[in-house]
Each structure stands twice: as C-alpha cells, then as structure tokens.
C-alpha cells in the first residue's frame, strides 16, 4: 500500500517524522496502555519535545513506564532517546504570538460569554495552525493528483461532516465533473460505491466517536481497490489506518459540538490543489459555468 504519511511540521519530515511512522507501524502490536501512550504521541507530537515524561503520561492517562515501553518498542533505549528528534524540531524554531495572546485575554474580560467568545476564537485559530503545521504541500498534491486522475471521486461525510462532503463535491464538479457526494438519499454509502474500483477515489471523513458506516465504507473501498483519502482526528483512527492519504484534523472546541474549522480549511486547500493540478481547460470550464449562471439570472444584481 502506497501511503502518504503526513508529518506534524516541516522539520519533522526528517528524524521525528520517521519516528512517528515507525510508531504508527508498531501500534497494532502494543499492549492497551502502551498503545494509548503511542496514540497520544501520534496526535500530540509537539508535546514530546517540550513536556516532561510525567506531564505527557498524565495527559495521555498512562503511567510513565508505558512511555518507556513505547520508546523501546520502536528501537530506542529509553524515552529520553526517543524524544530527542522532537526536541530538535522545537529547537529549529517555533513562533510565539504574544500579541494574539493579549488579544484573547482582552476578549475574555467580557464576563462569561466573553470567555466563551475568547475560547472559541483561540480554539479556531489553534486548530487552523495545527492542521497546516501537520500537513505539507507534497501530501496535498499527492491527494489532489489522485482526485484529478480518478474516474469518480466519492466524498463521504455524515453528521457534522455531511455538509463538508457535499460542498467539496459541489466545487469539484465545477472543476472536473467527476465527484459524487455520499450518502445519497435512500441508500447506504456502500450501495453507491457498488460499481467502484481501482480507477476511483473515496474521500472519507469521520471523527471520534467514529461513525460505523464511514469505517465500513472505507474497508469496502479498500477491498474494491479504490484509493482512500482520510480526514480524521487521529493517525490511529480506524479510517486513517486503512487509507492511502491521511490528513489529521484537530476538532477541539470549548463548546459541545466538534469544530469543523480545520476540516473545512484542509478541504479548501485540497480543492485549490485540484484546480491547480487539473488540465488547462478546467479554468475555462469554471468560467463558462459562472457565465451560464449569470446569463440565466442566478445572481442578484441591484436594479
């Protein structure tokens, strides 16, 4: 299987990125507690370089010894050796945002709703920063290449991801005319992919708690030889483990429902790469699409 493993930052494409890849490859062989530690590291690699082993263990909900066993499982003598590549990434530089911090503090002075507003702003900004830090242009281009080359691109999202899937398919059809949003009314996603095969692509999205129909659809797509692009909140999620291209999307928010800000941003970026990667006539096709709508009076005009 030809996977595009997405690094957590540009410098991590070296030693730290290789450690993450090894960790992901071994996660299925680990005991439950060691696997829990590994999943935390995969989802929060920046913490490895700056936090103590006790702090990381506490955040992961495991004992420090689980982190030591995790490090040994991927060939290190101990956790200190394991974390050195991650410290190197942090030493390579990380921007601080004191002005942004002061702005968020000022928002929080507005009482209870001011604190909620501040928390929402901070979470949205943080999710955007993290998704772009965890993704590089080569990974996006590889996924875009697959979409452009596909006979049909199926875009699957349910629940909070439903509108994201339909919006991506809507835009992709302006450019390529080969996208289908799933699920369609009255059918299961696997019904709509019954005739799909190696020439087709599935973009699948699900976030913890993972939706059964999405996981089953990804496994069905793999069995049919389809290329799978996964958007999920963890590299160890059930759809990410079975995918060819993986984008890890932060979903943290101070409110009850998950945040879709980062997922929307990475899909918009993927669409930009699709248009840039498509044949030369695509721009002309998009312009004709809008010209037809204008001619038919689809857009509001004053007077």
> pLDDT tens across 93-130, in order?
543 444 555 555 666 666 666 777 878 888 999 999 99
Helix (H, G, I), strand (E, B) or coil at 296: coil
Burial zone of 294 (CB within 10 Å; 0-12 exposed, 13-18 middle, 19+ buried): exposed
Taking residues 278-299, what's their average pLDDT? 83
What does the alpha-carbon distance between residue 100 and residue 125 come to, in Å, rounded to a whole number?
Answer: 10
* Token pair of 232 as six digits: 């999920």
Q: CA-CA distances (angstroms) from residue 262 to 125, 202, 203, 232?
A: 9, 20, 16, 11
Q: CATH second-level architecture of 137-293?
A: 3-Layer(aba) Sandwich (3.40)
What secondary structure letter does DSSP report for 93?
-
What does the alpha-carbon distance between residue 60 and residue 21 come to, in Å, rounded to a whole number?
Answer: 19
> Is the pLDDT higher at 185 or at 259?
259
What residues contact residue 266 under an 8 Å CB cut-off, 6+ apart?
131, 135, 140, 231, 247, 249
* Token pair of 273 as six digits: 């790469």
Closest CA to 221 of 192, 247, 193: 193
φ, ψ for residue 301, nearest 5 deg:
-130, 135
What does the alpha-carbon distance between residue 232 and residue 210 come to, in Å, rounded to a whole number?
Answer: 9
What is the per-residue pLDDT for 2? 37
Taking residues 131-150, what's their average pLDDT? 95
- pLDDT band (50, 70, 90) for residue 280: confident
* 10-91 classified as CATH 1.10.10.10: yes
* Token pair of 24 as six digits: 């992901």
Q: Is the pLDDT of residue 9 over 50?
A: no
Its pTM surpasses 0.85: no
What is the per-residue pLDDT for 181? 96
Could you tell me if 283 and 174 are in contact, meaning their C-beta atoms sit under 8 angstroms apart? no
Lowest pLDDT segment from 60-69, 120-129, 173-182, 280-289: 280-289
> Is the pLDDT higher at 187 or at 241?
241
What does the alpha-carbon distance between residue 227 and residue 201 come to, in Å, rounded to a whole number?
Answer: 5
């Amino acid at each position: 299987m030809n996977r595009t493993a997405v690094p957590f930052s540009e410098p991590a494409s070296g030693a730290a990125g290789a450690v993450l890849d090894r960790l992901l490859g071994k996660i299925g062989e680990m005991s439950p507690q060691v696997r829990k530690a590994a999943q935390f590291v995969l989802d929060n690699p920046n913490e490895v370089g700056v936090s103590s082993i006790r702090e990381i263990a506490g955040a992961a909900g495991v004992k420090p010894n689980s982190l030591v066993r995790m490090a040994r499982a991927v060939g290190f003598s101990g956790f200190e050796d394991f974390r050195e590549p991650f410290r190197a990434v942090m030493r390579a530089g990380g921007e601080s945002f004191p002005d942004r911090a002061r702005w968020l503090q000022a928002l929080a002075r507005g009482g209870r709703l001011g604190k909620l507003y501040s928390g929402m702003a901070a979470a949205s900004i943080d999710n955007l920063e993290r998704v772009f830090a965890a993704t590089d242009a080569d990974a996006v281009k590889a996924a875009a290449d697959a979409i452009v080359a596909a006979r049909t691109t199926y875009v699957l999202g349910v629940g909070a991801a439903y509108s994201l899937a339909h919006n991506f398919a809507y835009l992709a059809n302006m450019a390529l005319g080969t996208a289908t949003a799933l699920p369609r009314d009255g059918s299961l996603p696997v019904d709509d992919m019954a005739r799909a095969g190696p020439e087709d692509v599935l973009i699948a999205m699900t976030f913890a708690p993972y939706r059964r129909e999405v996981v089953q659809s990804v496994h069905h797509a793999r069995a049919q030889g389809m290329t799978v692009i996964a958007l999920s909140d963890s590299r160890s999620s059930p759809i990410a483990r079975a995918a060819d291209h993986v984008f890890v999307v932060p979903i943290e928010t101070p409110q009850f429902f998950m945040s879709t800000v980062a997922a929307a941003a990475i899909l918009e970026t993927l669409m930009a790469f699709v248009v840039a990667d498509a044949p030369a006539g695509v721009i002309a096709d998009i312009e004709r699409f809008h010209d037809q709508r204008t001619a038919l009076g689809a857009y509001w005009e004053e007077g």
